Structure 1
């Protein structure tokens, strides 16, 4: 029986086809065979010499019988292998894939390295521009505190103040503008955006002074909650004072707000005295305010007096020497020796406190005219004249509507006049002032003060007798500023 050969490129599979007859000689002429499978047929005759790596003839009884000359058992199947061309193609394919993988890995690694370098560069520039304060990164944990201070980001305070919206301005002063702000946790704050930050003697000096201010903790001192510092900004964050400043409650009456009664004015005087006493005699190092006045005394929710802006004059005045050519303060509140020499001490604060007492009594600014008596001039000169004439009722704020204690009025006027003596050595200390306001030692102090006073700090033969004369004769440049603390 004749049969046909079917090839599958180097492979000849003719098994299980019931083929009969001799194996064709043409198989021996085919080169490069990897497999020839003639098993399980009925082939007979002699087998040609086939050059295949695997040659299967098992299952052909006429070839592999008991008397057959072909040793079928010796012809065993071998694992199927690929021809050399296929092997080379496979090897080339593997090498190509390997090279592609290496190239991809190298490209990815280079790109990742570039991204890391760029990221580090951006991060370094960001750190440098932020001028890190207290070594705290701007990516801070909001719960982290430095002592009782908290670091705020500029972005956070800008959002709290609605991008420093003019509608949120609480006050303007010599050190900057104060804005009302609302933090993310709905806490109301007052944000003081300092101006002229370049006047600060370096980041370390600024840090030291802010830290010093933050350590002054007293019921009658405005507490510093936190800060923000960048390359171009300095901001301080304080609690929001719902009842504003004493000045705003005395003069800039808001519709619906009643005037301060006499008992509250007396409490304000006592609270302010306690705050200044702490700064002068209980704080180490002592702090001189340098602009004590009604605009810088704030009122909390219980109308307790809170001294604001203490220490800021020193904070931003590192360029000046002990004797300065520029006097910081508000005309009408500046002590005569400060006007004359530029030297300040705790006694300059005592003078300012005396003027504050007169503001509480009269409800007027220090430079306001004596409207009731039709008397023009600085408040201090006007009050002295009325006191000498025994016309104290003419200086009392009309908003009080005569609802005040006459004895306490006379005592407060005397304390104010003791505080505003031209010779600083004659002025009492804040501890003595507090006792006098509480009713202890005023009579003795007042009697001792009735001696003729000659200002020792002036070298002229005829020293001025009125405070307004000191202002006119001062050769120093007066920066008429309002420190105006948060309110």
Structure 2
């Protein structure tokens, strides 16, 4: 009997170990890449985190499967690890314009859903693995400008876009197969005359010189490229360096939104309306149609969101699918969030529809905090949202928080103070220093996040004039502070929760919210601290300190109020004077 029990325990332990290993294979594969490529700049690729979906330049699906690894032009060296063959959900691998050496691992043939493989402009040698021929969904293969040699597997010539130029492979003018597909090769089938070639070369040289001069004059101080976008047929835009964003045609989005019908409007913000759309393959999308593209803010906002999309890739941030530009239009395309926003789920619930229960609200609070933490502390340059509110936190099919509209915020260099000429945000959510000075920082977002927490707890708006009827404060923050001082926590909580919550958890969330909404930005916690407090670490100490400061501030306020009270004259000890009728 004892022997049987030991055998059972051994099997269970092995099963647990196998489960752990399986859950960790993606992180192992990516960390092997970091070690192999000597990519010191990937500081946030932490081997202690099993889920790599929060790492920079890595994008996952809703099930935390790695779909995109995009690292072009990062000056990384070393060999591509064989472990990459374990990323079986990978759709896009882009390691172009680096200094990779060694051979292309044959294990890449295991990536059966891979669509884009870009290894161009490296120092790769050896042959092209035959296993790449077995990738059924491959539509773009870029291996140009390496040191590859030998035979090209015949099946790879069937790939929609391929480029083998700049290698020692069996392709080219004197061989049966071209080194690049037609849509990669700008040359014709007939041999042009020498004069035409010289003319083209000379013209290109002049254009390059002029382009280089303009780039040095206008863009040398920037860390990323500016592109001039024009409307073309829908396709993947290869000029966007950090991700596979689809370029949609105007007609495609016009059809998807029923000619931008008002019945498809999901909402309207400072940059324009958002429409629900259905693409030709029945994919539901949200199309943001920018209305102020002619102003510096509108067009610049569009450029920023397109160019910086790969910097801000996180499971709690809204992913940009693609874009469209014409001479008169700028549009952004996002996944459609079927559960809309936190605000709509709190305040637009129809009879019979389920409400957001307390565990979901806690999960939303933590997910939003993690998304903002990523924007502030893992993006370079960091991204300030400037309009954090319940309406800008969307909910996916699993009611996970997805922060939207962050790409339209101004990107801040870590060495500079962000002073804006236009305050963007929503009254009731705007931090006092931002409203009065126009200076925003990550602590401005912390204030907005604190107000959003109060929205989650109470279900109320940040500003509500109907509270005047009950002689309460118009601002939600002042209303909650008053009830908190009176220890009336039950009166704070959304009545729709019908007592189905833990009062200690409510108290903890209110405490975090009040710490985030302190009047002085220096006193507010960083978003990384907010995440830790929501996870139960370090809140008690901060709250005790806040209470001491708040009591002192309150006493001083009341003292001044008594001193300047118009209802009595303490100097002459006279009775209050009752004014006659209205004047």
Common topology (TM > 0.5): yes
1:423-438 aligned at under 5 Å gives the runs 423-438=520-535
Cα–Cα, structure 1 residues 262 and 453, in superposed 2: closer, same or farther, change >3 Å?
closer
Aligned length, in residue pairs: 324
The alignment status of 1:364 with 2:457, answered yes or no, reads no
Indicate whether 1:142 and 2:235 are aligned.
Answer: yes
Counterpart secondary structure, 1:333: coil
Distance in 2, Cα, partners of 1:360 & 1:434: 16
- Contact kept, 8 Å, 1:288 with 1:311, in 2: the verdict is no
Cα deviation digits, residues 379-414 of structure 1 (max 9, x gap): 101100100110011011011011111010000000
- The alpha-carbon deviation at position 229 of structure 1 amounts to 1.2
User: In structure 1, what is the equivalent of residue 148 of structure 2?
Assistant: none
What TM-score comes out, normalization by structure 1 length?
Answer: 0.62
Mapping of 1:229-268 within 5 angstroms? 229-268=325-364
Please, what is the CA RMSD of the aligned residues? 2.9
Partners of 1:313 and 1:231 in 2: CA distance:
24
Task: Give the drift of 1:200.
Answer: 3.0
Query: CA 1:371 to 1:219, structure 2 compared with 1: closer, same or farther past 3 Å?
Result: farther
CA shift in 2, pair 1:338/1:141, >3 Å? closer
Matches within 5 A, 1:75-474: 134=227, 138-140=231-233, 142=235, 146=240, 147-200=243-296, 206-314=302-410, 322-368=418-464, 369-370=466-467, 375-452=472-549
Are the equivalent residues in 2 in contact too, given 1:226–1:236 (CA < 8 A)? yes
Task: Pick closer, same or farther for the CA change 1:136–1:231 going to 2, 3 Å.
Answer: closer
Higher relative contact order (CA 8 A, sep 6+): 1
**Rounded Cα–Cα distance in structure 2 between residues aligned with 1:362 and 1:342:** 29
**1:82 alignment counterpart:** none
CA contact (8 A) 1:372 1:395 kept: no
Provide the rounded CA distance (Å) in 2 between the counterparts of 1:203 and 1:377: 36
CA distance in 2, matches of 1:372, 1:221: 39
C-alpha displacement of 1:256: 4.0
Q: Distance in 1 between matches of 2:488 and 2:522?
A: 29
How high is the TM-score relative to the length of structure 2?
0.52
Rg bigger for which structure? 1
Q: 1:202 to 1:237 in 2, by over 3 A?
A: closer
Deviations, residues 1-33 of structure 1 (Å, cap 9, x unaligned): xxxxxxxxxxxxxxxxxxxxxxxxxxxxxxxxx
Q: Quickly say closer, same or farther: Cα 1:300–1:366, change in 2 above 3 A.
A: same
Question: What CA distance in whole angstroms lies between the structure 1 residues aligned with 2:298 and 2:511?
Answer: 44
CA shift digits 1:301-360 (9 cap, x unpaired)? 000000000031328xxxxx9544532111100001111111000000000000000000
* Contact 1:149–1:214, Cα closer than 8 Å, also in 2: no
Give the Cα separation in 1 of the matches to 2:370 and 2:469.
32
Q: Which runs of 5+ in 1 are unaligned?
A: 1-132, 316-320, 456-460, 467-487
